[in-house]
Structure 1
Amino acid sequence: MAVSSTRSFEIKATPEQVMAGIVAVERLPEWSSTHKSVTIESTHPDGRPHRVRMTVSIIGITDEQVVDYSWNGDESMSWTLVESAQQNVQDGAYTLTATDKGTKVDFSLTIDPKIPVPGFLVRRAEKTAIETAGKGLTKFVEKNFQ
């Protein structure tokens, strides 16, 4: 059962500062409790992460995932699941828009587990990921990139 969600939130930082926080994928465990370890396996020519291996644990399920990141300057980034023991699909994206107060962040996520998982658990996992993206990223950027 695939589920998709979106969330918008504001960070009191410039789009460049917010993107610097997003680019620091090796530091995901600092602000995302679901990320246990992150290893950058390859980078794009500009040095930004391309292929990333991570161990993730959410709702009691631990998974080793490989994702590919795509970047569009300081405007947006997205990722696509390449390999996972627990998921068929995981697509996510951050889109940044400058505002007079900082940056509006639009976050979207689609997940589809391989194993039959009750819908309420899938929605709970997705809600946790969406909330972490908002609260965790905001605190991380405001503490480290301003």
Structure 2
Amino acid sequence: MAQHTESAVVIEAPAEAVLDVIADLESYPTWVKGLQTVEVLTEDEGWADEARFLLDAGVIKDDYVLRYTWDVEEDSTGVVSWELVRAQNLTAMDGSYTLVAEPGGTRVTYRLAVDLRMPLPGMLRRKAERSIVETALTDLKAQVEGTTR
């Protein structure tokens, strides 16, 4: 990812609980704003390999496919990354979650690079990325902590 936006949050739950929520792609529409549907297209040893997303987030609407890489340890720490395979309006949707165990929880760092077919000034693109990243981390934290309490 050449230009990306990155942020981190500590979630008060073990890495296993965080990874379980991240890996349950098909439940994303219940807690990720703008996602209409998610369909796992292929799996590799129980992990989603490719998934199709239908997004309607106001300005950005798309039907796209992501390819996932699950570089995680037995303790559920590590990196979950994805790259755009195909889309109608996006030209990039590449990112990652990095999970690191900490006392009292899991530090999750989210990196994201997004680009659209239509021209968008760099400042607006970065602002949109920041909004997506911050919202994703806030919603992930709420989802994980809500299911582990």
Q: TM-score, normalised by structure 2?
A: 0.89
CA gap 1:11/1:40 in 2 versus in 1, 3 angstroms: same
Partner of 1:12: 12
Q: Which one of the candidate residues 110, 113, 136 is aligned to 1:110? A: 113
Secondary structure of the 2:94 match is strand
2:138 paired with 1:135: yes
In the TM superposition, what is the alpha-carbon distance from 1:61 to its structure 2 partner?
A: 2.2
CA distance in 2, matches of 1:34, 1:3: 23
In the TM superposition, what is the alpha-carbon distance from 1:96 to its structure 2 partner?
A: 0.5
Partner of 2:47: 48
In the TM superposition, what is the alpha-carbon distance from 1:125 to its structure 2 partner?
A: 2.2
Q: Which moved more, 1:28-37 or 1:119-128?
A: 119-128
CA distance in 1, matches of 2:112, 2:124: 16
Partner of 2:56: 57
Secondary structure of the 2:68 match is strand
Consecutive unaligned residues of structure 2, counting only runs of 5 or more, are: none
CA distance in 1, matches of 2:148, 2:116: 34
2:133 paired with 1:91: no
CA distance in 2, matches of 1:6, 1:131: 9
Secondary structure of the 1:144 match is helix
CA distance in 2, matches of 1:58, 1:117: 16
Contact 2:38 2:51 in 1 (8 A): yes
4+ residue runs over 3 A deviation = 118-121
Partner of 1:78: 81
Larger RCO, structure (CA 8 Å, separation 6 or more): 1
Provide the identity percentage: 31
Q: Which one of the candidate residues 125, 128, 131 is aligned to 1:125? A: 128
Letter in 2 for 1:133: A
Q: Aligned Cα RMSD in Å?
A: 1.6
Q: Which moved more, 1:110-119 or 1:60-69?
A: 110-119
Consecutive unaligned residues of structure 1, counting only runs of 5 or more, are: none
